[in-house]
Amino acid sequence: MKIMIVEDEKTIRDMVGEIIERWGFEVVKVEDFDGVMHVFLTENPHLVLLDINLPSFDGFYWCNKIREVSKAPIVFLSSRDTPMDTIMAMNMGGDDFINKPFHTDVLMAKINALLRRTYAYIEDIELNVVEHDGVVLNLKTYDISYHNQTTQLSKNEFIIVNLLMQNKGSTVTRRNIMRSLWADERFVDENALSVNMTRIRKKIADLGKDDFITTKKGYGYSIL
């Protein structure tokens, strides 16, 4: 399982990361505190350790943003220990609150308990979005966004973009795309796929992202 650490004090971040790795977990350390959501969406961690006092935006803000797309457990780590801080952490969607300084055995006990409790019922985290190179596809609303600009995709457009983003870095053949859209592609004019691709490209370009989809002529499409 993968644990993401959002902590701006390097000493604490490295110490906690080393301990977690000893337990056999994969560790993701955030160092760009303006890009917390980018790291989260890219890495898809099973649990997040989140400090409250962070540069730019505080931990409450990032907790709220994560909760918009994921049910992954969030544990707050903070030297702030007022009752209001704990209440805020829980109200924003946090699952536990640990005061600094803390004993590492207590931290690991809480992490293991949360992971057992969460993934006994959920085999993996269901993200509501897929992101690549700044382009965000919402899997529930069929919206696609780039730099705070959003547009709506049709059902077929959504299926195509989702298929390409799930296979980013690889070319998806026209036949495979058509099979995803229509049960039997033998009875579908290939021009229908070309029309959908043209519309998708225009919508993404209108958001400000050019050349997001690459064509391999006569074969298929890819997102690199």
Q: With 60 as the cut, is the pLDDT of residue 189 above it?
A: yes
- Given this model, what pLDDT does residue 188 score? 55
Taking domain 2-119, whether its CATH number is 1.10.10.10 is answered by no
- Mean of pLDDT over the chain: 87
Task: Tell me how long the chain is.
Answer: 224
Mean pLDDT of the 80-104 span: 84
Contacts of 9 (CB under 8 A, 6+ apart): 51
Taking domain 129-222, whether its CATH number is 1.10.10.10 is answered by yes
Contacts of 99 (CB under 8 A, 6+ apart): 78, 79, 81
Q: Model pTM?
A: 0.56
- Given this model, what pLDDT does residue 184 score? 45
Q: 156 versus 6: which is more confidently predicted? A: 6
Helix or strand or coil: residue 213?
coil
- Given this model, what pLDDT does residue 61 score? 92
How is the chain split into domains, by residue range?
A: 2-119, 129-222
* pLDDT 10s digits, 15-57: 999 999 999 899 999 999 999 999 999 898 999 999 999 988 9
Q: Which pLDDT band, with edges at 50, 70 and 90, does 85 fall under?
A: confident
Q: How far apart are CA 122 and CA 106, in angstroms?
A: 24
Mean pLDDT of the 67-94 span: 85
Q: What CA dihedral angle connects 146, 57, 70 and 179, to 10 degrees?
A: 10
Q: How far apart are CA 143 and CA 129, in angstroms?
A: 10
Q: How far apart are CA 210 and CA 221, in angstroms?
A: 15
